Amino acid sequence: MTSAAAFEIDALEDTALLGEAAVLVWNDVASEGREQFYDWHDKEHVPERLAIPGFRRGRRFARPGHSPEWLTMYEADDLSVVTSAAYLARLNAPTPETERTLKYFRNTSRAVCRIVYSLGSSTGGHMLAMRLDVPSGQGEVLHEYVTSEAFPRALALTGVVACHLYAADERASYIDTAESSTRTFDVPSWVLLCEVTFAGAAEEARGVLESRELKRLGVDVRSDAGIYTLEICRVSLPRKH
């Protein structure tokens, strides 16, 4: 894994993102736990996370019939938020509903990430999500490729409104907490996200992004890359002083 700390964040003044860091979670849910998952995630988990200082927006996307079926994205001001005492206290004191629901989780990936590059200032109702394995030492080359070629070409397509490249922070992703100990998960080292307004645009964008150039760079795109549809979005409200 190439460390995210090796990269300077490009200016995020004109971006669809709310913050420089994110917690990204992919998962399936056992069939008998689906209703409980929706009730818990909609009404408890997303509001709970957005109540933590520094968390800016929570979005959940789904692709029925695909595995993993759900992608959840929590955007935060920076990495210090997703390693903060307030966040870790929450992870170390899961609610009874959280403990009950996490037992149904399957095929889970979770990465605490830092944004490496973002292009585009709108959000879309669909998200192409690609988890990447990047050879050691190739992070800078990947960064140059998406900055100069891949993302501009994708953004030129009709319906594509933003593209983001994240690198996982290994230390933050593997912090041991009471909540993380309830399930096994893997940590993708790099994540490429593409926001679009209609699903067909994501298919075109995938053709541009998952190119021969990535293969030449030695970058492996996981075969379970998918196009997800937005189910819920919550933005943190300004705190009253």
Taking only the tens place, the pLDDT of each residue in 121-144 is 999 999 999 999 998 888 999 999
Q: 1: pLDDT confidence band, cut at 50, 70 and 90?
A: very low
Q: Helix (H, G, I), strand (E, B), or coil: what is residue 131?
A: strand
Taking only the tens place, the pLDDT of each residue in 80-97 is 999 999 999 999 999 999
In this predicted model, which residue has the larger pLDDT, 8 or 177?
Answer: 177
Nearest C-alpha neighbor of 174 from the set 78, 87, 101, 110? 110
CATH 3.30.70.100 for domain 4-235: yes
Q: What is the DSSP letter of 169?
A: -
Neighbours of 85 (CB within 10 A): 7
Beta bridge partners of 229: 62, 126
Q: Are 114 and 9 in contact (CB under 8 A)?
A: yes
What is the C-alpha to C-alpha distance for residues 112 and 188, in angstroms, rounded to an integer? 10
Q: What is the DSSP letter of 222?
A: -
What is the C-alpha to C-alpha distance for residues 166 and 143, in angstroms, rounded to an integer? 10
Neighbours of 216 (CB within 10 A): 10
Domain positions in the chain are 4-235
